[in-house]
Amino acid sequence: MEKKHLLYEANYYYITDQDIDLSPTEQAQIAVENGIKILQYREKSKSDRELYFELKDIVDICGDKTLLIVNDRVDLALSVGADGVHLGQDDLPPERVKEFVEDMLVGVSTHNIEQAKQYQDIADYIGIGPVHQTETKEDADPELGIEKAKNIAEIVEVPTVAIGGIEESDLKTLAGSFDMICAISSVTRKGELSDRIRYFEEKIDDAKRR
């Protein structure tokens, strides 16, 4: 995959927020304009037809600048030519998806060290969380806490994403152990979106360099 190198250059992992005034398409435009290297489309309240056409627009917005990952839906990711799919513990088994999907990234959400070890040889990247309790996912697993999340990330050999209730004050600590950090509400719901994206992107990048 020509764009796979972006997975190793990403700092802030953007997930679209369906509970703010900006549409996912508008969010994608702002994210790409502000240097986001990886964007996950997560939308659970629209018809498949609406999802398809919205994703087609976001594919064009991402172009060769940003990886587009589709949450859960392998079929939608394939139908629009997205760069990858992100799977939870209740979704299709990642190993089966890898068998029939060529040239597409597969990310997996994990919630403990056993799951992380199980999927690191299958997935292209691993999500680890929730670090803290989160308001953006109703059925979230119990929080890991920063130290436990870091301990898991440090044994994983593929790129990792910290997720779940992450605040600005967590960035410096987490960036030492994680390749990417996702903070939804503290970015999308606490100020002007482009400013918040740039701020988090720069903070994570600076912390990783240090």
Q: Please give the backbone phi and psi of residue 184, each rounded to the nearest 5 degrees, phi first.
A: -80, -70
Q: Is 203 helix (H, G, I), strand (E, B) or coil?
A: helix
Backbone angles phi, psi at 173, to 5 degrees: -70, -45
Kindly report the backbone phi and psi dihedral angles of residue 15, in degrees, each rounded to the nearest multiple of 5, phi listed first: -115, 130
Total length of the chain: 210
* DSSP type of residue 143: P
Handedness of CA 101, 102, 105, 108 (dihedral sign): positive
Domain residue limits at 32: 4-209
User: Residue 164 is part of a domain; what is its CATH number?
Assistant: 3.20.20.70
Domains: count for the chain: 1
- Per-residue pLDDT tens, the chain, 210 aa: give them: 789 999 999 999 999 999 999 999 999 999 999 999 999 999 988 999 999 999 999 999 999 999 999 999 999 999 999 999 999 999 999 999 999 888 899 999 999 999 999 999 999 999 999 999 876 666 667 899 999 999 999 999 999 999 999 999 999 999 999 999 999 999 999 999 999 999 999 999 998 887
d(CA 18, CA 193): 14
Amino acid at 135: E
Q: Amino acid identity, residue 189? A: R
DSSP category for residue 168: G
Cβ-in-10-Å burial (0-12, 13-18, 19+) of 40 comes to: buried
Please give the Cα distance from 177 to 143 (Å, whole number). 17
pTM of the model: 0.95
